[in-house]
């Protein structure tokens, strides 16, 4: 069953990534890949922690969401390819900007995802404490 979830979530992640790249388009700067990867960093950190603590979904199902959907939604290979293409074409400023924002923005996205998850979990706990 786990592999079926992986396929289903993977298909939806890949289609979502393609849809976003069609909406944003491509130019000299790989904005679509940057947006997808930054959102993916935030989402993985947020969803994996929040869903695991709030729902009764199995760890395998949650893993399938992270590996399947977010794993196919984001792409390190496109990041590496686009970075090297920018460098090879002499677009050093764009390449440096892209690499810097991808690395540090991804880390910040993960931190914010964990922070938001923690914040919402604390709020949920307080709300449930007052209800009881």
Rounded CA-CA distance 122/62 in Å is: 21
Q: Print pLDDT tens along the chain (132 aa).
A: 889 999 999 999 999 999 999 999 878 899 999 999 999 999 999 998 999 889 888 989 999 999 999 999 998 999 999 999 999 999 999 999 999 999 999 999 999 999 999 999 999 888 887 665
Q: How far apart are CA 100 and CA 125, in angstroms?
A: 37
CA distance 111 to 130: 29
The two structure tokens encoding residue 58: 């199995």
Q: What pTM does this model have?
A: 0.87
């Amino acid at each position: 069953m786990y592999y079926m979830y992986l396929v289903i979530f993977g298909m939806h992640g890949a289609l979502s990534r393609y849809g976003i790249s069609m909406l944003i388009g491509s130019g000299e700067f790989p904005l679509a890949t940057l947006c997808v990867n930054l959102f993916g960093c935030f989402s993985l950190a947020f969803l994996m922690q929040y869903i695991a603590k709030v729902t009764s979904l199995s760890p395998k199902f949650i893993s399938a969401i992270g590996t399947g959907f977010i794993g196919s939604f984001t792409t390190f290979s496109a990041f590496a390819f686009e970075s090297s293409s920018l460098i090879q074409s002499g677009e050093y400023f764009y390449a440096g900007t892209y690499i810097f924002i991808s690395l540090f923005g991804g880390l910040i996205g993960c931190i914010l995802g964990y922070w938001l998850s923690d914040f919402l979990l604390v709020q949920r706990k307080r709300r449930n404490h007052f209800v009881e």
